[in-house]
Each structure stands twice: as structure tokens, then as C-alpha cells.
């Protein structure tokens, strides 16, 4: 299974786990935990956005024009 796909699934189902596997322990994880405590939907949205932003930033360095 693709790692990216797994992180997206975890970011939707258990948002802090998806963010932790992507960023490790840091401010992004703390924000996601707080949003998840406020409700599952805000945590999931932030989790998916965080994983997407991580891969977008990672791919910017590999582009060749």
C-alpha cells in the first residue's frame, strides 16, 4: 500500500496519528490534537490539509523545468 494513501486514510479516521506519522512531534501535532478534541471534523480537515501540504512542499524540490 502506498505510504501517502495510508497517511491520508489515517488523517481522516484518526487525525493525530496521520499528522504524527507525517510530521512527528511538533506544533502541527499539538494543533491537530486540540482541533480533534473540539470535534472530529475539524481535526480531520486539518489532518488531511497537513498531509497534503507536506507532500506539496516535498514535491516542489523535485520539480525540474
Residues 19/47, Cβ–Cβ less than 8 Å = yes
pLDDT of residue 64: 55
The predicted structure's pLDDT at residue 65: 59
C-alpha distance from residue 63 to each of 56, 58, 59, 60 (Å):
11, 10, 7, 6
Please list the rounded mean pLDDT of every run of 10 residues in the chain (65 residues). 85 91 91 94 94 84 60
**pLDDT value, residue 40:** 92
Amino acid at each position: 500500500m502506498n505510504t501517502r494513501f495510508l497517511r491520508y486514510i489515517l488523517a481522516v479516521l484518526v487525525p493525530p496519528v496521520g499528522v504524527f506519522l507525517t510530521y512527528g512531534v511538533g506544533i502541527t501535532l499539538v494543533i491537530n490534537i486540540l482541533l480533534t478534541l473540539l470535534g472530529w471534523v475539524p481535526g480531520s480537515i486539518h489532518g488531511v490539509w497537513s498531509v497534503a501540504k507536506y507532500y506539496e512542499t516535498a514535491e516542489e524540490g523535485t520539480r525540474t523545468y
